[in-house]
A and B are shown apart, each in its own frame.
Chain A
Amino acid sequence: MLDAFFKELGTSTSQMALCANQTLYMLFVSLFLGSVIGIVLAVALVLTNKDGILRNKPVFFTVNTIINVVRSIPFVILMVFIMPFTKMLVGTRIGTTAALVPLTVFIAPYLARLFENSFLDVDKGIIEAAQSMGASTFQIIWHFLLPEAKGSLILSVTTGTIGLLGATAMAGAIGAGGVGDLALTYGYERMNFSLMLFTVIVLIVFVQIIQSVGNHFAFRTRNR
């Protein structure tokens, strides 16, 4: 039945599965890498800012500037711009795996900004209490900053995931495939409106699910 449905749309079950697979792969791998890098950058920002416990102007300025610069480059341009770097890292410029590099570079500073805000929302008093207990910097991050920001961090990841989904669609430009690429090539180039409508609906549903799951976990950690 599924086969017949996709055939009607001008594609096939296996192609749909492949596209979905590619999208999820790009999404989750770059989300994971981007989150790790984002957390590190965000922690660096909040520790070294002017009210931070490791106040350090040069470090703050450098990290802050890098984030701003990368964030100001549109994804399509970023993708092409860092191709040599991509080649160096994964050995190829095109394909799904190659797309992971620009996607991660794109999402990490974005997440870093969101995470930074999550951390800044943590009450200064909590950090002061931590210091009064003699907590080390690592302990302050691990036992105070991260747990207190958790709910807000989850929402930040959720927002980041949705932004990242948009970028994966554009990754089709370097042959990464995915659901977004499917919609573009079939829907735009071949004027297959029903397929495009279908992918749009799939994407909408997917975004709703991500947002609901994110909200669920965020509120579970927050309002008890």
Chain B
Amino acid sequence: MNAQQQSSQDEPIIRFEHVSKIYNVKGQEVRALDDVSLEIRRGAIYGIIGFSGAGKSTLMRMVNALETPTSGKVYVAGEDVEALRRRGLRSLRKNIGMIFQQFNLLESKTVFDNVAIPLVLNHEKKDAIKKRVDELLEFVGLSDRARSYPAQLSGGQKQRVGIARALATKPEILLCDEATSALDPDTTEQILKLLGRVSWELGVTILFVTHMINVITKLCDGVAVMEHGRIVEQGSVLDVFSDPRAEITRRFVSTVIPDRIPDSIVEKLKKEPHPGTLIRFRLRAKAATDNMIWQIDTGFKVKTNVMFASVTELQHVVLSVIILKIEGDPEEIKRVTAYLDAHEVEWDEVKI
């Protein structure tokens, strides 16, 4: 492999550079995206999470030029989307499949014809279409439903058809906008498994937009957290969720990794005359931090008491959250926290 090929392999397949989008709604400016920069490497399963209105869909839709930035640039496979757009949307969009929360299948067409549509639009030959559609239905496990109509399918089956249709033209990128948000937890799990296969078996890069964190923890390797049109945090799912920095990330994380003292205990603590200092530790299973509580108890003149503890597995890594109540001289407590910092333990103080 020569240097040039090497660089095109390493190059992110999707790149947002200082992208902003301003909508004008009745004379009012709505800043849907505010200086967003993000790189997604080839083959990644990348999640974008945020609450409603954060700008997730707007950002995703710029990848296939359903939306254009007010300023900034979007590159797909190294090429400027705006330039591709001028050369013709067809070639760009053929390389990018998309699935939706509401599936968006044609009710008037059979499963087979739905999956065939992108190929029909490309004027492909009948027998080539038949071969490809059979292959796709096999892949998503719906070969026996080819003659059914969408109305006869369950939500999960509809999304399988959506996925088959999105993959018909063998795209390199699959965009998923809340693709599991209309499904129950079991069905969601199945669809995520299927998307995992799309990534591993077909090497498709997946960009998944959602407001549900458990979808991200199960499927994605990278994640960006969005709020008010900005990316507030990004990185590997493990890094971002095991040590959330932004307030909004904490709110998301707390729904899957409990990290708060139960209300009844908080009430009791508030009534105590000497509440002490509450320190929250976030530990990844690492030997260095295993005997931390023992170290604090024996090495410092303080009294510790565990107020809360939770253990969660995130992407095969065990994460624990422990909240300790530490009583003692304020100077001594400062020494404890200095000790924690020296050993690079992730901690913060909890105020009640």
Min CB distance A50 to B, Å, is 12
Q: A131 an interface residue at 8 Å Cβ cutoff?
A: yes
Q: A133 an interface residue at 8 Å Cβ cutoff?
A: yes
- Chain B residues contacting A128 (CB-CB under 8 Å) are 66, 100, 104
A133 near B117 with CB under 8 A, answer yes
A132 near B66 with CB under 8 A, answer yes
A147 near B98 with CB under 8 A, answer no
- Chain A residues contacting B121 (CB-CB under 8 Å) are 133-135, 139, 143
Q: B109 an interface residue at 8 Å Cβ cutoff?
A: yes
Interface contacts beyond A123-B102, A132-B64, A132-B98: sample of 14 additional A-B pairs, CB < 8 Å, sorted by A: A123-B104, A125-B102, A129-B98, A129-B105, A131-B93, A132-B93, A132-B96, A133-B117, A134-B90, A134-B94, A144-B106, A147-B108, A147-B109, A224-B149
Report A174-224 residues with CB < 8 Å from chain B CB: 221-224
Measured in the bound complex, the distance between the Cα atoms of B151 and A223 in whole Å is 8
Q: A150 an interface residue at 8 Å Cβ cutoff?
A: yes
Interface centre among A128, A136, A221, A223 (most CB of B within 10 A): A128
A-B contact pairs, 14 of them (CB 8 A): A123-B102, A126-B104, A128-B100, A129-B100, A131-B93, A132-B66, A132-B97, A133-B121, A133-B169, A134-B89, A143-B120, A143-B121, A148-B107, A221-B108
Q: B22 an interface residue at 8 Å Cβ cutoff?
A: no
Q: Interface digits, B150-180 against A, CB 8 Å rule (1 contact, 0 not)? A: 0110000000000000000100000100000
Report B70-115 residues with CB < 8 Å from chain A CB: 89-94, 96-98, 100, 102-109
Min CB distance A194 to B, Å, is 47
- Chain B residues contacting A224 (CB-CB under 8 Å) are 149, 151-152
A126 near B96 with CB under 8 A, answer no
- Chain B residues contacting A144 (CB-CB under 8 Å) are 106
Measured in the bound complex, the distance between the Cα atoms of B175 and A221 in whole Å is 31
Q: B118 an interface residue at 8 Å Cβ cutoff?
A: yes
Min CB distance A191 to B, Å, is 52
B104 near A147 with CB under 8 A, answer no
Measured in the bound complex, the distance between the Cα atoms of B64 and A222 in whole Å is 31
Measured in the bound complex, the distance between the Cα atoms of B57 and A128 in whole Å is 13
Measured in the bound complex, the distance between the Cα atoms of B64 and A144 in whole Å is 19
Measured in the bound complex, the distance between the Cα atoms of B106 and A135 in whole Å is 14
- Chain B residues contacting A223 (CB-CB under 8 Å) are 151
* Given A132-B64, A134-B121: A147 in contact with B96 (beta carbons within 8 A): no
Interface residues on A, range: 20 to 34
Min CB distance A51 to B, Å, is 13
Min CB distance A33 to B, Å, is 26
Measured in the bound complex, the distance between the Cα atoms of B223 and A34 in whole Å is 55
- Chain B residues contacting A150 (CB-CB under 8 Å) are 108
Min CB distance A69 to B, Å, is 29
Measured in the bound complex, the distance between the Cα atoms of B106 and A148 in whole Å is 7
Min CB distance A131 to B, Å, is 6
Measured in the bound complex, the distance between the Cα atoms of B105 and A132 in whole Å is 13
Majority-rule SS of B interface residues? mixed
Report A105-149 residues with CB < 8 Å from chain B CB: 123, 125-126, 128-129, 131-136, 139, 143-144, 147-148
Measured in the bound complex, the distance between the Cα atoms of B91 and A44 in whole Å is 27
Measured in the bound complex, the distance between the Cα atoms of B106 and A150 in whole Å is 12
Measured in the bound complex, the distance between the Cα atoms of B151 and A113 in whole Å is 28
4 pairs of A and B residues whose beta carbons are closest in the complex: A134-B93, A125-B104, A129-B104, A132-B98
* Given A125-B102, A128-B100, A132-B96: A143 in contact with B66 (beta carbons within 8 A): no
Min CB distance B157 to A, Å, is 15
Closest to A221 in B: B108
- Chain B residues contacting A139 (CB-CB under 8 Å) are 121
Min CB distance B275 to A, Å, is 53
Measured in the bound complex, the distance between the Cα atoms of B117 and A126 in whole Å is 12
- Chain B residues contacting A131 (CB-CB under 8 Å) are 66, 93
Closest to B96 in A: A132
Closest to B106 in A: A148
Interface centre among A134, A136, A150, A151 (most CB of B within 10 A): A134
- Chain B residues contacting A221 (CB-CB under 8 Å) are 108
A125 near B90 with CB under 8 A, answer no
Measured in the bound complex, the distance between the Cα atoms of B110 and A221 in whole Å is 12
Closest to B175 in A: A132
Contact pick for B106, options A134, A147, A151, A222, CB 8 Å: A147
Q: Interface digits, B120-137 against A, CB 8 Å rule (1 contact, 0 not)? A: 110000000000000000
Min CB distance A123 to B, Å, is 7
- Chain B residues contacting A222 (CB-CB under 8 Å) are 107-108
- Chain A residues contacting B118 (CB-CB under 8 Å) are 133
Q: Interface digits, B199-233 against A, CB 8 Å rule (1 contact, 0 not)? A: 00000000000000000000000000000000000
Interface centre among A129, A132, A223 (most CB of B within 10 A): A132
Interface centre among B66, B97, B102, B107 (most CB of A within 10 A): B107
Min CB distance B92 to A, Å, is 7
Measured in the bound complex, the distance between the Cα atoms of B175 and A129 in whole Å is 11
Measured in the bound complex, the distance between the Cα atoms of B109 and A127 in whole Å is 15
- Chain A residues contacting B97 (CB-CB under 8 Å) are 132
B89 near A126 with CB under 8 A, answer no
Min CB distance A167 to B, Å, is 31
B106 near A126 with CB under 8 A, answer yes
Measured in the bound complex, the distance between the Cα atoms of B121 and A126 in whole Å is 15
- Chain B residues contacting A133 (CB-CB under 8 Å) are 93-94, 117-118, 121, 169
